[in-house]
Amino acid sequence: MDDVEEMYNEIIMEHSMNSYNKKKLDKADFEEMGHNPNCGDEISIEVKMNGDVIEDMAFSGHGCAISQASTSVMIDTLKGKTVEEAKDIIKTFIGMIKREIKDDKELEKLDEAIAFKNVSNMPARVKCALLAWHTMEDMIKKNNK
């Protein structure tokens, strides 16, 4: 394992063990549930908006380490972003996992979420890594007219 891979694994471990994003928001504007029957992952994501900006996010649920860490990292990455920025980041993350986007410059906007890059080599884990991001994508589609 090289240094970069090790760093990626540490980020994933860190987030799957420390659940500081796993809580309930006092006042959520939106909530969306996501379910991955292949693995049994279930999450619920809450979002609080301030105008066009994602002011706060949190999640609850259970599942494998990859699904839970991916949700937590996504929250760190999208918090403070506008909806338009969030859509772009979500698209980039999905593109990275599906190996459609490989350009490092383009992946920079993912911040820590780039740690999931190697999940694209683990077909059984792809749905786990994408669950939160697809759930967030659905929430934006439903509520963003």
Residues in contact with Zn ion by CB under 5 A are 39, 41, 63-64, 67, 128
CB of 41 to Zn ion, least distance (A): 4
- Shortest separation between residue 23's beta carbon and Zn ion, angstroms: 21
Cβ neighbours around 11 below 10 Å, total:
18
Rounded least distance, CB 88 to Zn ion, Å = 25
The angle formed by the CA atoms of residues 69, 53 and 76, to the nearest 5 degrees, is 20
Whichever of 54 and 66 has its CB closer to Zn ion, that residue is 66
Nearer to Zn ion, 54 or 97 (CB): 97
Q: How far is the CB of 66 from Zn ion (least distance, A)?
A: 6
Which residues contact residue 34 at a Cβ distance below 8 angstroms, ignoring those fewer than 6 apart?
Answer: 41, 42, 43, 44, 45, 131, 132, 134, 135, 138
Minimum CB distance to Zn ion smaller for 75 or for 126: 126
**CB 119 within 8 Å of CB 97:** yes
Which is closer to Zn ion, CB of 12 or CB of 54?
12
